[in-house]
Amino acid sequence: MTKIVGLTGGIGSGKTTIANYFKELGVPVYIADDEAKKIMNSDDVILKIKNKFGEDVLEDNKVNREKMAQIVFSNPEKLKELNKIIHPEVKKHFKNWLNSHKDSKYIIKEAAILFESGSYKDCDYIITVVATLESRIERILKRDNTTKENVLKRIKNQWSDDEKVAKSDFIIHNEDVKEALIKTYQIHNLLNNI
């Protein structure tokens, strides 16, 4: 049976770099955040979001992710409401995707909020990518058109690295990319032989 390996880490930790390396190694990788973005703009989900958050979060009948982020990252209750709409849909989508990869030894499910969403419970193993707060902030500011204040708000809505590490089977320290990729390759070999 295909093993589900959760890959997580705080925003800016470098999860995408690690996920892409697993892809290079021939491992099927499911990027939950990318799928959630697609699902967020499906007709039935747009309707649910509109009913819960109002017309203001829509632009050209699509969810304006920037406006939505401003609402949910400054109000934990609103974030929970959004997650109640999105997470069941992503879970359904993942189940179908997993079915199409049932011949793989293992797959990677990359999710920023693997723990927060509770989906870590469906994983056989968990890999957490960690980096210093300074590195994470610097990476996000380079990558996204945002402010340090917004970055810190988003970080505050995620579990701390210590909480994630305590529940993980493997830890990848991603300060030096070369070392992080070596560690990833070692984990890949271990998972192939379990």
14 assigned to a ligand binding site: yes
6 assigned to a ligand binding site: no
Q: Which residues face 5 on adjacent strands?
A: 108, 125
13 assigned to a ligand binding site: yes
Both tokens of 164, joined, read 């994630």
12 assigned to a ligand binding site: yes
* 108: nearest Cα among 85, 135, 133, 126: 126
8 assigned to a ligand binding site: no
Both tokens of 142, joined, read 């380079």
All residues at 6 or more sequence positions from 58 whose CB lies less than 8 Å from its CB, including other chains:
46, 49, 50, 64
* 157: nearest Cα among 116, 110, 128, 109: 116
100 assigned to a ligand binding site: no
Alpha-carbon distance 18 to 32, whole Å?
14
Instruction: Point out the annotated binding site for ATP.
Output: 12-17
Instruction: Point out the annotated binding site.
Output: 12-17
